[in-house]
Every structure is written in C-alpha cells, then in structure tokens.
C-alpha cells in the first residue's frame, strides 16, 4: 500500500541519546518508580484494613475510645489531639524539606543545611511520638475479659462510664505461678500473667452490683435492637458500644475465659483482634519509613555540610530525598484518616 507514510521526524536523532521525554533525571525517575510501588504497598495494607473492618463492621473498635491520651494529661480523655499534633509535626517537617529543596535550587548551602536540620528534628519528634502512642496502646487502660467464644467484654458503671478492672476486681487468696522454662517439664513457658485472674474479676463483679458489661457490638437505632430485652437501652447510645442489663451481664461473664490487659498481636482489650494487628503493622511500617527517611536525611545533611553538592553543582540529591520525605507525609495523611477519623 502506497499510502503508508512515515511521519516520524527523521531529522531528529530520537535514538541517538540525550533525549529526555519525561524531562527528569534517572535518579528522580527511579525515586518516582519506588514511590509508586510503595504507594501500592500501603494501599494494600489500608485496603486490607478496610476489608477486615467491613467484615466485622458491627463490632469494630471505635478509634475515639482507643486513642485518648495526651502527654501530661493523665485521666483526661483527649481523643485525636495527639495524632493531630503528630500530623502537624510531619506536615511542618515536609515544609522545611521543601524549603531546603527550594534553597538548593539557589545553591544556598547554609540555608539547605539549616532546613534539612529542622526536617530531621521534625522526623525524630514524630517517631518519638509514635513510640509513645504505641506504649499507651500496648499498655492499655481499662482491661477486658475474653469469653470462651472469643468475644470481648468491657465494663461500665451505672452511668455508662468505663471502669478499670483494678477498680472492682477483688484479690482472692489463690496462687497462680507463671510457667517459666526452668519449671516446665519440657520446653514449656507462658507469657506474663495478667494482674487479675478470671475468678477475681468474676468475684469483684458479683460484689459490685452497679457494674455492667459492655459488648463489642455497636448499638443500632432500629426496632429489632430496641426490642432486645438483654440490652440496657438507657445507657446504650447509637453508634456506640452496646451495654447489657445486669442479668445478661452476669450470664455473659459466666463464659469468661481470659483476662486481657493492653494489646499484643494475639489479643487486645479494645475489641477485634485484627484491630491491634493492623495498628501495629500499618503504623509500624509507616514509622519504619519515617525512621529510614530520617537516616537518609542525616546522610544527605552531612553531604550538604561537606559541600558535596556544591562540587556537583547541583542539589538534586536533596530533591530526591525530598520526594521520599513528602511521600512519607502523604502516607500519613491517609493513615490518619483511615485509622483515626473514619
């Protein structure tokens, strides 16, 4: 067919090298490659969290009740404030990073160094804050009971306020020794024992008639729920956890199997077991990114001080770590929404 016309510009040497269709250097493109793949990894994690949450939509823990701590404010329920503070710290360290990149475009070494330094400090404060958040999460506050079927029972008083196990559990004259390796018949041991035994919680519950059991189930404002005689309808509020009547509480507590204090990868006092797993995994993976970002920033910071990029006559390296650092901030924006807001 004679109609075939070659429209390619044969004058230009397309394959002769030096052609940059994306107008970006190799290193920067590779950083974008990495960011795309890492973004998909995090999407996978957050998607899996959404999957599990949808799977247990009626019993999933309420983040407002889990993350309520603020430094130097003991016993004050301050949901969200602390993560909001962490978010601001990370956004601000992103700003100092982009200011460093901007100063790099002007080849202003001292300014780049100063802003890189602030970025590193911001990153360290963020990682430290996360460690503190983990400490509170692992330590727990109220304690709970796990039943034989694996569901979780928490305790409230007759005003609906959460009650700690230590506030009502009695101390029974029983002895329960932790099984350690040197006392085992074979390679047997067990993790630390909870402060109270199931029998002590049950006895304490009997001695305090005002205490009620709160289940994991989120109370709904529909007819079927309203007709349920096992629920204390004055204390249960829509979109909050269901509080049971005293009679039903006793019945449920009779099935108690384990005392749960704080959180680990197997069980946690907040509710669904998967909740703690996802919390540790996603915030841990993000925290690891922040940590490695800080390490990379420190390396680049020293290179800036040594004048490496002045010799190269380009501060593009600062731009590349900047991309990574902003990406870490970007991920946090999503983690913040998915874990703490919705």
Partner 1 sequence: MSHEHASNTKRIWFVFGLLSVVTTVEVILGITKPAALHDNLLLGMNLLNWIFYILTIFKAYYIVWAFMHMEGETPGLRWSVVATVVFLVIYLLFILLIEGDYIFEVFKDSTIKWNF
Binding mask 155-194 for partner 1 (x = CB under 8 A): ----------------------------------------
Q: How far is the CB of 168 from partner 1 (least distance, A)?
A: 25
Taking CB under 8 A as the rule, does residue 340 contact partner 1? Answer: yes
Tokens 């704080």, located at residue: 262
For strand 144-147 and strand 152-156, is the pairing parallel, antiparallel, or unpaired? antiparallel
Taking CB under 8 A as the rule, does residue 97 contact partner 1? Answer: yes
Q: In sequence order, what are the beta bridge partners of 64?
A: none
For strand 152-156 and strand 241-243, is the pairing parallel, antiparallel, or unpaired? unpaired
Measured between alpha carbons, how far is 253 from 251 in angstroms, rounded to an integer? 6
Tell me which stretch binds partner 1 (CB under 8 A): 8-16, 85-93, 186-194, 242-250.
Answer: 85-93
Read off the tokens for 85: 């503070």
* Overall residue count recorded for the chain in this entry: 342
Taking CB under 8 A as the rule, does residue 22 contact partner 1? Answer: yes
Which of 158/314 has CB closer to partner 1?
314
Q: How far is the CB of 322 from partner 1 (least distance, A)?
A: 8
Q: How many residues bind partner 1 (CB under 8 A)?
A: 63
Tell me which stretch binds partner 1 (CB under 8 A): 56-64, 117-125, 134-142, 302-310.
Answer: 56-64
Q: Give the neighbor-by-neighbor strand order of the sheet with 152-156.
A: 241-243, 212-218, 152-156, 144-147, 256-260
Measured between alpha carbons, how far is 110 from 125 in angstroms, rounded to an integer? 23
Instruction: Residue 43: count other Cβ atoms within 10 Å of its Cβ.
Output: 12
Which of 49/168 has CB closer to partner 1?
49
The one among 16, 17, 21, 173 contacting partner 1 by CB under 8 A: 21
Q: What is the DSSP string of 142-198?
A: S-EEEETTS-EEEEE-TTS-B--HHHHPPPPS---PPP-GGGSSSS---PPPPSS-H
Least Cα distance to 48 among 341, 278, 217, 292 occurs for 278
Q: How far is the CB of 190 from partner 1 (least distance, A)?
A: 26
Q: In sequence order, what are the beta bridge partners of 243?
A: 214
Which of 52/195 has CB closer to partner 1?
52
Residues that bind partner 1 (CB under 8 A): 21-24, 29, 32, 35-36, 39-40, 43-44, 47-48, 50-59, 64, 79-81, 84, 87-88, 91-92, 94-95, 97-99, 101-102, 105-106, 147, 149-151, 216, 238-239, 319, 322-323, 326-327, 329-330, 333-334, 336-337, 340-342
């Amino acid at each position: 067919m004679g109609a075939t016309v070659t429209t390619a510009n044969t004058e230009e040497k397309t394959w002769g090298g030096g052609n940059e269709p994306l107008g970006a250097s190799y290193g920067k493109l590779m950083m974008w490659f990495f960011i795309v793949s890492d973004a998909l990894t995090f999407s996978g994690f957050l998607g899996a969290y959404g999957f599990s949450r949808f799977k247990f939509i009626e019993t999933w823990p309420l983040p407002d009740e889990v993350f309520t701590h603020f430094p130097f404010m003991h016993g004050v329920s301050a949901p969200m404030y602390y993560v909001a503070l962490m978010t601001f710290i990370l956004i601000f360290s992103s700003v100092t990073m982009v200011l460093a990149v901007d100063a790099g475009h002007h080849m202003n070494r001292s300014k780049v160094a100063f802003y890189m330094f602030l970025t590193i400090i911001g990153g360290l404060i963020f990682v430290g804050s996360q460690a503190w958040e983990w400490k509170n999460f692992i330590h727990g506050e109220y304690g709970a009971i796990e039943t034989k079927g694996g569901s979780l029972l928490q305790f409230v008083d007759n005003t609906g306020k959460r009650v700690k196990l230590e506030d009502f559990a009695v101390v029974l004259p029983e002895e329960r020794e932790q099984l350690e390796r040197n006392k085992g018949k074979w390679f047997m041991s067990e993790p630390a024992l909870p402060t109270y035994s199931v029998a002590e919680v049950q006895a304490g519950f009997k001695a305090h008639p005002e205490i009620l059991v709160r289940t994991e189930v989120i109370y709904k404002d529909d007819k079927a729920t309203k007709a349920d005689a096992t629920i204390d309808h004055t204390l249960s509020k829509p979109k909050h956890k269901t509080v049971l009547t005293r009679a039903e509480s006793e019945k449920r507590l009779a099935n108690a199997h384990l005392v749960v204090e704080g959180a680990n990868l197997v069980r946690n006092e907040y509710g669904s077991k998967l909740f703690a797993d996802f919390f540790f995994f996603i915030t841990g993976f993000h925290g690891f990114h922040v940590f490695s970002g800080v390490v990379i920033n420190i390396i680049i910071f020293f290179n800036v001080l040594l004048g490496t990029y002045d010799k190269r006559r380009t501060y593009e390296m600062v731009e590349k770590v900047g991309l990574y650092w902003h990406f870490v901030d970007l991920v946090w924006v999503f983690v913040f929404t998915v874990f703490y807001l919705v």
